[in-house]
Amino acid sequence: MTTEASPATTDLSDAHGVLVRHAAPVFRDYGGRTAFSGPVTTLRVRDDNALVRAAVEGKGEGRVLVVDNGGRMECALFGGNLGKLAEENGWAGVVVHGCVRDTMELKECAIGVKALAAHPKRSAREGKGEKDVEVRFAGLTIRPGHWLYADADGIILAETKLT
């Protein structure tokens, strides 16, 4: 995992104006790091976290995993065990357009985790979904390779790395 500090979203927003897009303020922080950034890898699923597990079992290399569950709130797609795997494998963070669980465990993980809410129910594990596809939520269109920046003030997205 990269140890360099993530730039503040407010500073990036001010400096880059129209080059960044801002997510609607619907996400809460659950991870041990509030500020994180990196190139995006995407998943589109429906109440199934098998692809999420497969992703975080792989090398993160400072990337941000963006999981689109369509904003569904029926179960959690990410929890403490996956948080630990993501941390160990070098992921900078995870953004879930849905729910997480094991929130106390996630706070102990040295990664960023943003989600809509917490839910105690686990998801299905059938391996259904799509990887590295365009996803749309919170007013953003997110493609693999975009750069996501997140902190306590929100999430911004750019097509390339910002300096």
Q: Is residue 3 part of a domain?
A: no
Per-residue pLDDT of the chain (163 residues; tens, 9 = 90+): 344 578 899 999 999 998 999 999 999 999 999 999 999 999 999 999 999 999 999 999 999 999 999 999 999 999 999 999 999 999 999 999 999 999 999 999 999 999 999 999 999 999 999 999 999 999 999 999 999 999 999 999 999 999 8
CA within 13 Å, CB half, 119:
20
14 Cβ contact partners less than 8 Å away, ≥ 6 residues apart: none
Residue 118: which domain range? Answer: 9-158
Q: Is residue 163 part of a domain?
A: no
Q: Is residue 48 part of a domain?
A: yes
The pTM assigned to this predicted structure is: 0.95
User: Contact, 149 vs 156, CB < 8 A?
Assistant: yes
Using CA of residue 88, residue 93, residue 129, residue 82, what is the dihedral sign? positive
Q: Is residue 45 part of a domain?
A: yes
Q: How many domains does the chain have?
A: 1
Tokens of residue 54, six digits: 């497969």
Sequence-ordered alpha helix ranges (H) in the chain: 9-16, 50-57, 80-88, 103-106
The CATH code of the domain that includes 63 is 3.50.30.40
Q: Is residue 83 part of a domain?
A: yes
Q: Is residue 126 part of a domain?
A: yes
